[in-house]
Amino acid sequence: MGLLIGTSSKMNLTSSEAAAYLDALRPMVADVDDRILFVLLPFTSIWVARDRLAGSNVRWGAQDVHPEDAGAHTGDVSAPMVADLGCTYVEVGHHERRRDYGETDELVAAKVAAAQRWGMTAIACVGEARRGTLDEVAEVLDKQLRRLVECDLARLVIAYEPAWAIGVGSQAAPPEWVGKAHAAIRERLAATGAPGSDVPIIYGGSVGPNEGAALLEQPDVDGLFVGRQALDPRVFAAIAHTPVQR
């Protein structure tokens, strides 16, 4: 698998706004053929991605999913529902979900399993809430990964997103730190045996055009997961074109 460059619009972009965004983005990235591009939109706008991105080099997906396939879960959305809209990826376990809804590692793993059950790849977010030593962070990551390594590793992407690097006013984590954190994740995955060592690990957290190249130079960084800056399609296109030198 090549590099993964993607974005989650979070609770932004109505259906009309998503249509305009994708219509602008698609020609800007049409020449990108050496990496996988994806966008994760709100549930209400996924159908727009299906219509606007069909036949393009940009894949689409959802920002969350319920662990059950159906049932009395008012307001929730299931894996078969988003799979029916052509989703390739489903994000689970973002720090904001863990913080605002009390999502546990067990629930995140169940959501991963739901996405995989319906043929989609789960992007499972991990990361520490506060800055600490590498050993302290590795312990947090190890705990978050314990249930994930029991899932289908062939349909799993790990997104390292330290909470202190997320949000307005935050800055991306230093590339050297990201490289060390990704190496710690890789070590844990490799301990499970093949194909654990092949699971892509992408970085998310205040990524902009100026940070992309240095982050992608790190040997265990397999891609970028862009947040608010990618709400400008020109910025996302610039990041999608980031040259890689390793």
Helix (H) or strand (E) holding 122: strand 121-126
* Banded model confidence at residue 81, pLDDT cuts 50, 70, 90: very high
Burial annotation 162-176 (CB, 10 A radius, 16+ → b, else e): bbbbbeeeeebbebe
Decide if 62 contacts 118 (C-beta within 8 A). Answer: no
Q: What is the mean pLDDT of residues 158-177?
A: 89
pTM score: 0.96
- Residue 204: burial class (beta carbons within 10 Å; 0-12, 13-18, 19+): buried
Residue 217 clears pLDDT 80, i.e. is over it: yes
The domain made up of 3-240 has a fold known as: TIM Barrel (3.20.20)
Residue 166 clears pLDDT 80, i.e. is over it: yes
pLDDT at residue 52, rounded to an integer: 98
How many whole angstroms separate alpha carbon 161 and alpha carbon 45?
24
pLDDT at residue 145, rounded to an integer: 95
Q: Is 94 marked active-site?
A: yes
Nearest residue to 104 (alpha-carbon basis) of 63, 146, 136 = 146
Among residues 91, 128, 161, 211, the one annotated as catalytic is: 161
Structure tokens at 235: 């910025």
pLDDT at residue 140, rounded to an integer: 95
* Banded model confidence at residue 171, pLDDT cuts 50, 70, 90: confident
* Banded model confidence at residue 193, pLDDT cuts 50, 70, 90: confident
Among residues 94, 95, 103, 211, the one annotated as catalytic is: 94
Q: What is the mean pLDDT of residues 200-208?
A: 93
Residue 105 clears pLDDT 70, i.e. is over it: yes
Q: Side chain identity at 128, as an amino acid letter? A: E
* Banded model confidence at residue 125, pLDDT cuts 50, 70, 90: very high
pLDDT at residue 1, rounded to an integer: 61
Helix (H) or strand (E) holding 175: helix 175-190
Residue showing tokens 């949000």? 167
> Phi, psi (5° rounding) for residue 215?
-70, -40
Q: How far, in Å, are 17, 21, 44, 48, 53 from residue 12 at the CA level?
A: 9, 11, 10, 14, 18
Quote the mean pLDDT of the chain: 95
Structure tokens at 130: 């506060």
pLDDT at residue 43, rounded to an integer: 98
* Banded model confidence at residue 194, pLDDT cuts 50, 70, 90: low
Residue showing tokens 């600490």? 132
